[in-house]
């Protein structure tokens, strides 16, 4: 019988969540499907009730079918309907259906993990459903995260300031999560995972209550990608051996002003809390003035788009 004590990998996008997923999923007793986005897209409590009322099943399934991510996952809406109509109208049952449907060949008795980075916003909801769930939060130098996010087409902001502020919000939320979860929370740094993988993975296995397996160090030999083909462009690197050259790239890819802006918006205290040192360049009055101008320009542009949308 499949175990019913899942764990969750959370963090900021481009912080190493896919690498960690692949390493843990190389363990023979662990299965981690592609990102489900369940709690941000398919949780019935988002727009209806949990469990779903019978009269809402049709409307819920209509929303699910219309969601682009459902199409990306390639799941069978009719099979999902059959599960729900067979008295599976609660969120726990729906999530388990998705996990098993995404990994139909999973052996009996395996431990399921779920990796959707921005589920870090849904920790309270997940805890209400899985009180004993464990969470692994992977962090990476915020300056490297900002550099990486700004390169991706799907990231909404190319501004250093806007991106740094988004990263800061995630790190602040995880400070609260760490205090709230206590022993059910583990933090791992991307840099430690890359530079010192075995002791880092041993610690995580102990946290999960699993025996360490050396196959996790050879994760790149696994045929299972752990992500969708449509995501390969920005997740391909997780299929290759560890590459320490990706640590500290911000030093050559951020301007001095960009680095100081990230330091400023993240804050020295938050940087040091997660084990990172400020870049050392101060945040000048001119830097502050430029950031203010950028924020005003972004706000006016957003208002302009909103007005055009209403008039159009």
Segments making up each domain of the chain, as ranges: 7-251
Residue 153 is predicted with a pLDDT of: 87
In this prediction, residue 288 has a pLDDT band, given cuts at 50, 70 and 90, of: low
Q: How far is 237 from 253, CA to CA, in rounded Å?
A: 19
Residue 292 is predicted with a pLDDT of: 67
DSSP lists the bridge partners of residue 10 as 137
Contact predicate 221/28, CB 8 Å: no
Instruction: Tell me the pTM.
Output: 0.90
pLDDT reading at 113 higher than 80 = yes
Read off the pLDDT of residues 31-71 as tens digits, 9 standing for 90 and up.
999 999 999 999 999 999 999 999 999 999 999 999 999 99
- The CATH fold of domain 7-251: Rossmann fold (3.40.50)
In this prediction, residue 172 has a pLDDT band, given cuts at 50, 70 and 90, of: very high
């Amino acid at each position: 019988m499949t175990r019913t004590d899942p764990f969750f990998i959370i963090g900021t996008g481009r912080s190493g969540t896919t690498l960690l997923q692949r390493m843990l999923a190389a363990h023979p007793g662990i299965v981690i499907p592609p990102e489900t986005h369940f709690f941000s897209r398919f949780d019935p409590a988002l727009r209806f009730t949990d469990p779903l009322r019978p009269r809402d099943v049709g409307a819920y399934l209509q929303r699910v079918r219309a969601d682009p991510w459902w199409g990306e996952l390639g799941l069978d809406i009719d099979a999902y309907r059959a599960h729900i109509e067979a008295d599976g109208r609660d969120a726990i049952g729906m999530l388990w259906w998705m996990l098993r449907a995404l990994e139909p060949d999973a052996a009996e008795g395996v431990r399921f993990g779920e990796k959707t980075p921005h589920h870090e916003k849904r920790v309270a909801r997940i805890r209400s459903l899985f009180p004993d769930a464990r969470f692994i939060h992977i962090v990476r130098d915020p300056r490297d995260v900002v550099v990486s996010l700004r390169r991706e087409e799907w990231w909404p902001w190319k501004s250093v300031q806007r991106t740094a502020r988004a990263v800061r919000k995630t790190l602040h939320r995880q400070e609260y999560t760490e205090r709230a979860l206590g022993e059910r929370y583990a933090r791992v740094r991307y840099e430690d995972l890359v530079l010192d993988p075995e002791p880092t993975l041993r610690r995580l296995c102990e946290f999960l209550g699993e025996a360490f397996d050396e196959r996790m160090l050879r994760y790149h030999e696994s045929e299972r990608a752990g992500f969708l083909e449509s995501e390969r462009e920005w997740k391909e690197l997780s299929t290759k051996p560890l590459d320490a050259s990706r640590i500290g790239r911000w030093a050559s890819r951020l301007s001095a002003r960009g680095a100081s802006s990230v330091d400023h918006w993240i804050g020295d205290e938050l940087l040091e809390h997660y084990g990172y040192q400020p870049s050392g360049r101060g945040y000048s009055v001119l830097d502050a003035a430029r950031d203010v101008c950028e924020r005003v320009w972004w706000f006016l542009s957003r208002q302009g788009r909103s007005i055009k949308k209403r008039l159009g």
